[in-house]
Chains A and B, each alone.
Chain A
C-alpha cells in the first residue's frame, strides 16, 4: 500500500496564479484532512471530509476550496495565490473519526 500520496512535492507560484494540490489514499479511509504548516509552527486545519461528497471548513479555509468526489481523492484548490499561502501542505487520512492520522509527505508551496 502506498498510504497517502501527495503531488507535487514542490511548487513555486506567482501571485494571482491558481493550482490544485493532489491527495490520494489507498486505504479506503472515509476521513481526510488538509493541514498547512508554516515554518517552525504547528498544523492548522484547512478543510476536512468525512466521506465522498461531504466536506467542511477547518480553522483557516479562506483562499482554498476542496472537493471529494471519490473516497480515494481529496484535492485542495488554491485560487488567486497570495504570499501568505506560502507553506507546507499536508494531507492526512483516518479510518475512523478518532483513529490516528496517516499523513502524506507534504507539498512545499512558495508564492512569489
Chain B
C-alpha cells in the first residue's frame, strides 16, 4: 500500500538555525498537507499543496512541492523554541476519501 516517509526522523537544532524536513512517497504524491503537533498535543493543520513546483510561505515557514510530485519539504528559517514539535506530511489517496500520514519529523530546539 501507499507509504509516506519523512526524513529525518529526529532533528535537534540550536535556536536560530534553520531546519528542513522532507516528505517522500513510493508513488507520485497527490495532494500534500502539512501538520504540526506540539508535545502532548494534537495535530494542527498548517497548509496544503496541490500543484507541482508549488511554493507557499507562512512567516518563517516555507513549504514546497517537488516538480515531479515525488516529494515535498518544509523549511523553517531561524528556528525558535516555539517551533518544537513533530511535523507531519499527509498525502491524499486518490480514489478514496482519506489522507495517509507520514512518519513525522520530531524537532527539538535548544535555547
Q: Which residues of A contact B (CB under 8 A)?
A: 31, 33, 35, 40-45, 48, 50, 56, 58-59, 90, 92, 97-106
Chain A proximity mask over B30-42: 1 for CB below 8 Å, otherwise 0: 0101010000011
Per the bound structure, the CA–CA distance linking A35 and B42 in Å amounts to: 11
Residues on B with C-beta less than 8 A from A104 are 42
A98 to B101: give the CA distance in the assembly, Å. Answer: 13
Interface stretch (choices B12-20, B43-51, B63-71, B74-82)? B43-51
- Are A100 and B104 neighbours in the complex by a CB distance under 8 Å? no
Residue from A90, A97, A99 within 8 A of B42 (CB atoms): A90
Q: Across the A-B interface, give the 6 residue pairs with the lowest CB-CB distance, nearest first.
A: A100-B45, A43-B101, A103-B42, A42-B103, A42-B104, A97-B97
B106 vs chain A, min Cβ distance (A) = 8
Interface centre among A45, A50, A98 (most CB of B within 10 A): A98
Output the least CB separation between B95 and chain A (Å): 11
| Pairs A–B under 8 Å by Cβ, sample size 18 | A35-B101, A40-B106, A41-B103, A42-B103, A42-B104, A43-B101, A44-B101, A45-B100, A45-B101, A48-B98, A58-B98, A90-B42, A98-B92, A100-B47, A101-B35, A101-B45, A101-B99, A103-B43
Interface pair B104/A90, CB less than 8 Å apart: no
Nearest Cβ on chain A to B58's Cβ, whole angstroms: 13
Given that A42-B104, A45-B100, A97-B97 are contacting pairs, would A105 and B45 also be in contact in the complex, using a CB cutoff of 8 Å? no
Please tell me which one of the listed residues B33, B43, B97, B103 contacts residue A48 in the complex, with CB atoms under 8 A apart.
Answer: B97
Contacts of B104 in A (CB 8 A): 41-42
Given A48-B98, A103-B44, A106-B42, A98–B31 Cβ distance below 8 Å?
yes
* Cross-chain contact of B97 among A44, A50, A102 (Cβ < 8 A): A50
